[in-house]
Amino acid sequence: VDVQSLAAGYDYIFVLSALLPATDAVALWMRIEESAAFKSGVADYYWWRQAASFEVDASDSEIEITQSGATTAMSNATDEVGAFEITVPNPGATVRKAIIWFGGYAPPDLAGSGATQGSGSYIINTNAITGVRFLMSSGNMASGTLMVWRRQRS
């Protein structure tokens, strides 16, 4: 799911609800668009996440919102949908994007905690962020709702 044309002077709040992946045992990822391209270089992002355990990756090709792994990733059972809130403060600013906050819950495939919270950043440059992409680590999203709010900065 892509959201583009983010405007300067606002914070953006994205809410994914009733999210169900098409494939079992996958993770929810986020990528950033800048300079008319979604970025997926091997060292474009830094993120940390607290779920069943604390994880950090200082050099990744995406921000991993949920856990990955055969038993701790998201389930595709129709009665086990996820819900997440992601805040991207002032994406139009031309400063390093230090904080993208996320939190939510998705029942894990077999074990562990489905609760997740964390933060990530796009670390390559200070260009304005013009869009975000939410995707699964494998396969597509079978269903779900995305709501987007923007809050004017003062």
pLDDT digits (tens, 9 = 90+) for 9-25: 999 999 999 999 999 88
- Give the pLDDT confidence score for residue 69 in this predicted structure: 72
79 DSSP 8-state letter? T
Q: What digits encode the pLDDT tens for the residues 55-69? A: 999 999 999 998 877
26 DSSP 8-state letter? B
- Mean pLDDT of all residues in the chain? 89
Confidence class for position 31, pLDDT limits 50, 70, 90: very high
Contacts of 154 (CB under 8 A, 6+ apart): none
Higher-scoring residue by pLDDT: 53, 71: 53
| Cα dihedral sign, 64-65-67-68 | negative
Tokens linked to 114:
């489905």
